[in-house]
Amino acid sequence: MPIQSICCLGAGYVGGPTMAMIAAKCPGIQVTVADLNEQRIAAWNSETLPVYEPGLDAVVASAIGRNLHFTTDIRAAIAAADLIFVSVGTPTKSYGIGAGRAADLRYIEAAARLIAEVSEGNKIIVEKSTIPVKTATAIKSILAANSPNGATFQVLSNPEFLAEGTAIQDLESPDRILIGGEATQEGQAAVEALVSVYENWIPRERILTTNLWSSELSKLVANAFLAQRISSINSISALCEATGADVDEVARAIGMDSRIGSKFLKASVGFGGSCFQKDILNLVYLCDTFNLPHVAEYWRQVVHLNDWQKSRFVEKIVRTLYNTVNGKRIAILGFAFKKDTNDTRESAAIQVCRDLLHERAHLAIYDPRVDATTIQQDLAAAGVDPALIITNVEICSEPYAAVTGAHALATLTEWDEFRSLDLPHIHSLMLKPAFVFDGRAVLCMEDLVAQGFEAFVIGKGA
């Protein structure tokens, strides 16, 4: 069936940019992004988008008002669509069975029930959210049992593999597009219908088709493998610090082995983002559910190592500052989980700042893209006393204000602007001895030492 109208439920980090790219590349298809959040939809329809992503503004501007629309009228969007992407949130459950590990699928179920209620004729439903394997079975069951208008549905899996900060590049020229469907005539016809959409700009050889379960599981496994590499190199960073080795030199040496490769071998204070920890914990829960405890424990250790890396960084700060940071000003450069995004979900900075505040440090925080409200809300959600946030947290508009009068400086996001900081000026603004704790290895150890800093760079021996 030719696709003439697409609806996406969810206008977040995945739904908004993905649909903007589809609209830009497929001018003959009407693309509508629907979300209950009126403020978010208003932002998408304004010049200040709710998502910061390099290049996103231009993509949205090229299609909005022509064949790209953002609306809160979800029912109308569903009714008009031939193909419906489900890109709603699937957070980790914080209650009940599977708390802290299992995916919370209430928004997926709510979306399925609404689609069933509103739809007529034939619809293709596409899982875009990250979900546990076999979720398609639940969606199909809900659709079949709740369609008063006699609509028929085909359910596909089309997971996203976007990296925040490079999402537009990833959408423009992806490594692969993965589509899973049922091995029936109707299922394969639905798969080909979605393939035809992507073929407007993506070579057919990069579009992989599998069964539903392989597609659903591949997303969790991809993120688990990437996170595993980060935890692996972070474990080696601790050994490098203890032995005098340089983790960047080690990473370069092993990365030139074609069997290993060089990507995701950058040591840091820890990984964050909306996917890695959530998806690994979901994978752990699935393995436990299918009575695979050894597999579950293997992947659980990836998360444990990541948490330890952040705790180790905080302990290094406290012990270096003479075993107390009570009342001391510490400049925090970077709060987003990585550069080129304003996303702070599971950011390493949250845990580091929380633990420093529990030690009663005074934090002066600067991030070029994360606003003060988000920082304060994230710290409160992490368990920091709101009164302590008011008294001990200062949000700064530029890095030099943050370091003025500081006992120490900690870099927690690898923003490019931090690489060109005026180190002599920073040294003159800080209390002496001036300590630097570089959790992203964006500053040169030799330059720091030459300027008189007491420097610690992650993965660098003393």
Residue numbers annotated as active site: 160, 219, 275
| Host H or E run for residue 86 | strand 83-86
Residue where the block lists tokens 């702070």: 344
Cα-only R_g, the chain: 24
In this structure, the number of other CB atoms found within 10 A of the CB of residue 357 comes to 23
Tell me 429's DSSP state: H
User: For 334, left (φ over 0), alpha (ψ -120 to 50), or beta?
Assistant: left
- CA proximity to 49, closest of 339, 342, 401, 311: 342
CA distance 107 to 186: 26
Each as own residue / partner, the long-range contacts of residues 385-393 (CB below 8 Å, 24 or more positions apart, any chain) are: 388/357, 388/360, 389/357, 392/357, 392/360, 392/361, 392/362, 392/363, 393/353, 393/357, 393/362, 393/363, 393/365
Smallest Cα–Cα separation from 107: which of 128, 124, 122, 134? 128
> Coil, strand, or helix at residue 124?
strand
Backbone phi, then psi, for 393, in 5-degree steps? Answer: -125, 125
